[in-house]
Amino acid sequence: MSMITERPVSNSAGQPPVRTVGEASATGRRDVRAVVSAYVALTKPRIVELLLVTTVPAMMLADGGMPSLWLVAVVLVGGSLAAGAASVLNCYIDRDIDQLMRRTKRRPLPAHTVAPRNALVFGLVLAVISVALMAAATNWLAAGLTLAAIAYYDLVYTLWLKRTTAANTFWGGACGAAPVLIGWAAVTGSLAPAAWGLFAVVFFWQMPHFYALAIKYKADYARAGIPMLPVVASVRRVNAEIIIFSWLTLLSSLAVWPLGMSPIYGVTALVVGGIFVVEAHKLCRRAARGEAVKPMRLFHWSTTYLTILFAAVALDALI
């Protein structure tokens, strides 16, 4: 990153050097960009993006086609603000352990680029706006689910489960799967079996997805005292859960097929789900043999899997 160098400006009074107008302006713009970038980083945009990947297809399936663009826009904005709020508050709560982990020590709070109080206020404001927007533009069920997801993620998962139990990923899974229900409820004002089926897919998917990440950063979590499963359990136990939940992800996706879905979705679910399960078995087989594992291979494929599966949901709804 380029640096701006201060240049002395001579003056007869012997006063301290000052920046020229151009330099001061450039520095000011840089400072504003840095502040904006720090606040955006608190919202964890990549997580927001992944959540929205599941929301819009669920809305399309609920509508049986393409919902009104106004409703889609409202849910996208409201959902992004809600997910961002949950992430900001998560960063505020976890600021003590984030500074101990190499993966997170450059986040705005441990790096001291944003004050904790400012982050707290920012997160709460985003939460209020998101819930208010959902309540005003959709319905009370969607708004209630939005509020519940934020509260559960920050107060139940981040503040309690994450720090106290190796089952934290399992019990926290409802938060990541909530956007499916929120999107469906925004369209219909209710929840149908297909909505719960897609919820189950995302819920079970999170275990192998996050366990792979936890294997990669096992030392980080251990240093911070976070009892992620790969930190406190045997390789055999971790392998068993990765395989079980990978299969449950596949089976849940296939269970949605008879709920009004066409072969477009069914074949896609079978193929990409099968690849997901194979990748999980490969990872576990290498771990069981004591070989060098490549957990991020499963982690990245799991993201691709979810994207393809929900793209099939959207295509099925349109056709």
Instruction: Say if CB 177 and CB 199 are below 8 A apart.
Output: yes
State pLDDT tens for residues 4-56.
Answer: 333 334 454 455 555 555 555 555 565 788 889 999 999 988 877 877 889 99
Torsion of CA 161, 163, 166, 168, to 10 degrees: 30
8 Å CB contact between 51 and 83 = yes
Residues 109 and 39: their CA atoms lie apart, in Å, by 10
Domain 192-318 in the same topology as domain 34-167: no
pLDDT digits over 268-291, tens only?
Answer: 999 999 999 999 999 999 999 988
The pLDDT tens digits of the residues spanning 206-260 come to 999 999 999 999 999 999 999 999 999 999 999 999 999 999 999 999 999 999 9
Q: Are 184 and 168 in contact (CB under 8 A)?
A: no
CATH number of the structural domain 192-318: 1.20.120.1780
Task: From residue 115, give the alpha-carbon distance in Å to each of 30, 42, 94, 122, 146.
Answer: 19, 12, 14, 11, 26
Q: In the prediction, which pLDDT does 29 show?
A: 64
- CATH classification of 34-167, choosing from 3.20.14, 1.25.60, 2.20.28, 1.10.357? 1.10.357
Distance CA 73, CA 264 (A): 26
Task: State the Cα–Cα distance between residues 195 and 192, nearest whole angstrom.
Answer: 5
CA–CA distance from 314 to each of 29, 58, 266, 317 (Å)? Answer: 41, 7, 13, 5
Domain boundaries along the sequence of the chain: 34-167, 192-318
Letter for the amino acid at 132? Answer: A
pTM of this structure: 0.88
Rounded to whole angstroms, the Cα distance separating 245 from 259 reads 22
Of 200, 176, 191, 318, the C-alpha closest to 255 is: 200
What is the percent of the chain where pLDDT is above 70? 91
Contacts of 289 (CB under 8 A, 6+ apart): none
Count of helix runs (H) and strand runs (E) in the chain: 14, 0
Q: Which of helix, strand or coil describes residue 290?
A: coil
Two structure tokens written together for 34: 């840095």
Q: CA of 182: how far to CAs of 52, 149, 190, 249, 254, in Å?
A: 11, 9, 10, 20, 22
Residue-level pLDDT at 66: 95
pLDDT in tens, 108-156: 999 999 999 999 999 999 999 999 999 999 999 999 999 999 999 999 9
Single out the residue of 202, 213, 143, 197 nearest to residue 173, CA to CA: 202
- What's the pLDDT score for residue 47? 78
Which parts of 8-68 fold into alpha helices (H)? 21-42, 45-63
* Residue whose C-alpha is closest to residue 71's, from 126, 145, 134, 130: 134
